[in-house]
């Protein structure tokens, strides 16, 4: 009932899900907005459990895969900007949609500006990409 209400409010979500599964059935794969493919050999399986797993991947892969593509673009641009602007601080870790850096105190504002600019402008979409930042001596403090 809750899910039905959600789909009644946002019918485009249901349409997207069905379209993604149909594309996967026809092509055997789905793509990210960058054109990277996720092959789904089980999408037409007679086994409903196996097919259901492939269908969930057909829905999720374009979204999660595009997010992964976008952050990779941002990481490349950040690395290039750091080199161009002689930044000594280093990007040390990526976790899903988050980047972690080891930042020299005197570079804090410059690193923050570069990272936010590059993450928010990595890919143009209808809805703006918004990034935020946090600082701390460890990951927990930065949140």
What are the C-alpha distances in Å from 11 to residues 15, 30, 64?
6, 21, 21
- Give the pair of three-digit tokens for residue 140: 């927990």
CA dist., res. 15 & res. 29, Å (int): 18
Residues 2-37 have pLDDT tens digits of: 888 888 899 899 999 999 999 999 999 999 999 999
The model's pTM is: 0.88
Residues 76-133 have pLDDT tens digits of: 999 999 999 999 999 999 998 899 999 999 999 999 999 999 999 999 999 999 999 9
- Give the pair of three-digit tokens for residue 19: 């379209």
From 44, 70, 79, select the one nearest 127 (Cα to Cα): 70
């Amino acid at each position: 009932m809750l899910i039905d209400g959600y789909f009644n409010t946002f019918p485009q979500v249901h349409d997207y899900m069905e379209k993604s599964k149909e594309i996967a059935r026809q092509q055997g794969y789905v793509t990210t907005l960058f054109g990277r493919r996720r092959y789904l050999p089980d999408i037409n399986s007679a086994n409903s459990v196996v097919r259901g797993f492939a269908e969930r991947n057909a829905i999720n892969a374009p979204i999660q895969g595009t997010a992964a593509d976008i952050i990779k673009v941002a990481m490349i641009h950040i690395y290039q900007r750091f080199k161009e602007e002689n930044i000594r601080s280093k990007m040390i870790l990526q976790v899903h949609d988050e980047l972690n850096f080891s930042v020299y105190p005197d570079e804090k504002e410059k690193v923050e500006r570069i990272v936010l600019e590059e993450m928010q402008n990595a890919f143009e979409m209808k809805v703006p990409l918004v990034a935020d930042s946090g600082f701390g001596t460890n990951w927990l403090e930065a949140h």
